[in-house]
Structure 1
């Protein structure tokens, strides 16, 4: 890649289950411009929303390529979305079709891989060799860096940690299984746990019970975190349950991969002050051989919710070569 072409900004797009967030990003990982829209439920509507969001940025910026960070399985050639539990794409050649419509090179990447890459290049995992990134938002995405390189497995889908079953016959998951880790440790899980606790004893809540009574659909993970900061007992218990599941899951991950560092990314990371210390304690106690082996460091994303789109933009830069 020439230095001149490498200096051209690229667009990174984080296509999540709730929103499409896009940004123009320079070669140093700095966000220059942004656009956002809700994520539609149907494939045609999603295509239209994606086009409008990107064209909004193209109307104001010269860019060289587009990278899409997608919450789903991406093919080995980074061109096809095989399956996405929270998106309507199945076997969709998204990169080719979007590139044809916009006239620019397009590459796909799993959103957790993109976030992990961004943290390795510009954030919390700078210089890390063996690193696991856990991206917690609507669900759980995960990424593995081995010796500083993304590991995608034989078919481009590794490591799908959010859909490891932690509770046999547990909560149903959009992937078709029951009891997946993300059903107990995600923004969606926070809402479900809070609703279960409210149903068991609404008198425990000074804030959330009244809100749910007024509008059952108003409850979000962000609102639960805010209520926990305000001392709402149900919200505090919900965050404690989340911390327990996060710590247990991280111990399971460390038993398999033995990383030097685990980075917590995604939207839920913004509330880390409410759960991270407890999660570290649960992790340290649940780890196999606890007390007789080094603990992986656990850090929070430095790039925040921009990590996946910054990583997608940086990975798209390779298309300029």
Structure 2
């Protein structure tokens, strides 16, 4: 018999809430703004209204993927500054108390990785690298999400790419996030040209500054992907997030550059764009109810 769950994706600007079947995938979905600046209580209240509208007797539980570092008890341990009063909330307890259903809370990129593994590429050993406003990551090991001791495993965006490089919002320097995020791409273009341009335009333009920014980005990404391949020896490294929408014309180049730095034993690694795009997180979030996380 098919299982059903509510899947939730809480992003910096928008939330998706869906009725999901283990076999059928997304059956019904709604989207609302996150309005993170209004605080955690407001997010939970508006989210709860949408969950209530989707609930029926078939729902087994509520799976959530949210921005931030989430511990194994469902507590949000850290988050980006635009989320007011989000840190410290036990989202698992909040939802279980409201709906008398089991809830599972994971980081948004961890949810995305589960979605790709279960509903997308189906590789049992897979690393997700999410390139968006920031950079995140997640680890699938032998078909299971690897969360580490405290739930935060996979934060590859804060691995150091350039020692003592650009300052990162996390407090360190030279993190992947400071070179590979959409924000980093736009900042680099501004540094070189004195003009502000959106990342999607930079990837499409043919001027000297755009070429330089994209070339630097591809080199940094290749090093990051090769480091991941050499460290984890996965079946695949899956690139996701907002930046990935611009990468289709560059995928062969990314593979070629990455393999220059990849050990011989790992040269069979597949380097792929997300198969599910924006649906990966919400499907992965719901999957935490269907299977053990």
TM bracket (short chain)? 0.7 to 0.9
Indicate conservation of the 8 Å contact 1:130/1:261, yes or no. Answer: yes
| Residue of structure 1 in register with 2:8 after alignment | 13
1-structure distance, mates of 2:91, 2:193: 41
Asked if structure 1 preserves the Cα contact closer than 8 Å seen for 2:19 and 2:54, the reply is: no
More displaced, 250-259 or 229-238?
229-238
Note closer, same or farther for the CA distance 1:309–1:60 as it changes in structure 2 (3 Å cut): closer
Q: 1:238-277 to 2 correspondence within 5 Å?
A: 238-277=213-252
Rounded to whole Å, the distance in 1 between the matches of 2:68 and 2:210 is 30
For residues 49 and 290 of structure 2, what CA distance do their matches in structure 1 show?
19
Distance (whole Å) between structure 2 residues aligned to residue 196 and residue 41 of structure 1: 29
**Residues 226, 23 of structure 1: alpha-carbon distance in 2 compared, 3 angstrom cutoff:** farther
Structure 2 counterpart of 1:301:
274
Alignment map for 1:228-239 (pairs within 5 Å):
228-229=203-204, 231-239=206-214
1:144 equivalent in alignment to 2:117 = no
Picking from 63, 67, 88, the partner of 2:63 is 67
Q: Alignment partner of 2:137: what SS?
A: strand
**Any idea what SS the aligned residue of 2:72 has?**
coil
Contact 1:14 1:111 in 2 (8 A): yes
Secondary structure of the equivalent of 2:171? Answer: coil
Note the C-alpha offset of 1:91: 2.8
Q: Distance in 2 between matches of 1:273 and 1:11?
A: 32
CA distance in 2, matches of 1:230, 1:32: 39
**Secondary structure in 2 matching 1:153:** coil
CA offsets, 1:119-149, max 9 Å, x none? 111102x1x2321111222222211122212
Q: 2: distance between equivalents of 1:189 and 1:151?
A: 28
Compared with structure 1, are the counterparts of its residues 117 and 182 closer, same or farther at alpha carbon in structure 2 (3 Å cutoff)? same
**SS where residue 234 of structure 2 aligns?**
coil
**Cross-structure match for 2:117:** 120
Change (3 A) 1:242 1:23: farther
Q: Deviation digits for residues 225-270 of structure 1, max 9, x if unmatched?
A: 2453354553443333222211110111122112121111222222
Three-state SS of the structure 2 residue aligned to 1:179 is: coil
- In structure 1, stretches of 5+ residues that fail to align are 200-208, 213-218
In the aligned structure 2, how far is the partner of 1:196 from the partner of 1:39? 31
Q: TM-score, normalised by structure 2?
A: 0.87
RMSD, aligned CA: 2.5
User: Which residue pairs with 1:163 in the alignment?
Assistant: 158
User: Structure 2 vs 1, CA of residues 317 and 149 (structure 1 numbering), >3 Å: closer, same or farther?
Assistant: closer
> In 1, Cα distance between the equivalents of 2:205 and 2:276?
26
The count of residues paired between Structure 1 and Structure 2 equals 288
